[in-house]
């Protein structure tokens, strides 16, 4: 006998709860996007005044840093929206942890290797 209830036997998670969980955690993902766009603007203002602009790698780094949280949120939502509420929350928080690690890598790379993405 299978002790775990199947998806058909388990009650469907209400849409309002899925929207609340994904929206509340999504605000943290949105902060990561906002932060990436803000850092792109600051980079352009800082080095643009000196007559230096971003090369293709620099544009890729900052644009991907802004798009990556959206991709991870979409993936986490696709994986978790049919699951139980606590599982959805755990998937969303795991994705947020992935975004945080990625963001730390972007900050470390752009801090230590700024000459490689300026042209």
Asked, for residue 53, whether it belongs to a domain, the answer is yes
Which domain range does residue 94 map to? Answer: 31-117
The answer to whether 52 and 119 are in contact (CB under 8 A) is yes
The CA distance from 64 to 61, in Å, is 5
Asked, for residue 21, whether it belongs to a domain, the answer is no
- pLDDT given at position 83: 93
Phi, psi at residue 54, to the nearest 5°? Answer: -80, 145
Asked, for residue 4, whether it belongs to a domain, the answer is no
Q: Cβ neighbours of residue 10 under 8 Å, at least 6 residues apart?
A: 84
For the stretch 20-66, pLDDT in tens is 999 999 999 999 999 999 999 988 888 777 777 888 998 999 999 99
- pLDDT given at position 12: 85
Asked, for residue 15, whether it belongs to a domain, the answer is no
Is the pLDDT reported for residue 115 higher than 90? Answer: no
Asked, for residue 102, whether it belongs to a domain, the answer is yes
Number of structural domains in the chain = 1
Phi, psi at residue 7, to the nearest 5°? Answer: -65, -30
- pLDDT given at position 72: 98
Asked, for residue 73, whether it belongs to a domain, the answer is yes
pLDDT confidence band for 15 (50 / 70 / 90): very high
Asked, for residue 19, whether it belongs to a domain, the answer is no
């Amino acid at each position: 006998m299978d002790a775990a209830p199947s998806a058909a036997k388990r009650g469907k998670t209400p849409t309002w709860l899925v929207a609340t969980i994904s929206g509340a955690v999504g605000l943290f993902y949105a902060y990561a996007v906002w932060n990436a766009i803000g850092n792109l603007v600051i980079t352009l203002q800082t080095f643009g005044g000196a007559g230096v602009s971003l090369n293709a790698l620099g544009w890729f780094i900052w644009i991907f840093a802004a798009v990556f949280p959206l991709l991870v949120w979409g993936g986490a939502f696709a994986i978790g929206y049919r699951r139980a509420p606590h599982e959805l929350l755990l998937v969303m928080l795991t994705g947020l942890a992935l975004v945080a690690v990625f963001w730390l890598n972007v900050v470390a790379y752009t801090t230590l290797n700024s000459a490689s993405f300026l042209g």
